[in-house]
Amino acid sequence: DAGITQSPRHKVTETGTPVTLRCHQTENHRYMYWYRQDPGHGLRLIHYSYGVKDTDKGEVSDGYSVSRSKTEDFLLTLESATSSQTSVYFCAIRPGQGDTEAFFGQGTRLTVV
């Protein structure tokens, strides 16, 4: 799995609570991404990072924030979880220079009730 660990793997939370998902890599790759995957929509980019403390929004960033204080960790926070944020969340990493392939984690299945 290219040295990517997502935690937790499964989570059930209540509407309105904050939730943080963690992506940890051991590859020292520069680029890290958070995606969500939903039926009929495929993988959609939430946020990405191109270095420590350097992040930018993706196409579905509303209701999400991210932080990257170390190269190896990229955190995704749902500020106030809603049922529409029930999804499978994937972290991905990419080495850096040039457009090379991305490697994905195993995913976090989040259910907001």
CB of 95 to other proteins, least distance (A): 11
Closest to other proteins by CB, 7 or 80:
7
Closest to other proteins by CB, 18 or 56:
56
CB of 76 to other proteins, least distance (A): 15
Closest to other proteins by CB, 6 or 85:
6
Find tokens 């980019």 and name the residue. Answer: 45
CB of 90 to other proteins, least distance (A): 6
List residues binding other proteins (CB under 8 A): 1, 31, 33, 35, 40-45, 48, 50, 56, 58, 90, 94, 99-107
Tell me the sheet residues that pair with 72. Answer: none
Phi, psi of 68 (to 5 degrees): -140, 95
Closest to other proteins by CB, 67 or 103:
103
Beta-carbon count within 10 A of 59 CB: 9
Beta-carbon count within 10 A of 56 CB: 11
Q: Is 93 exposed, middle or buried (0-12, 13-18, 19+ CB in 10 A)?
A: buried
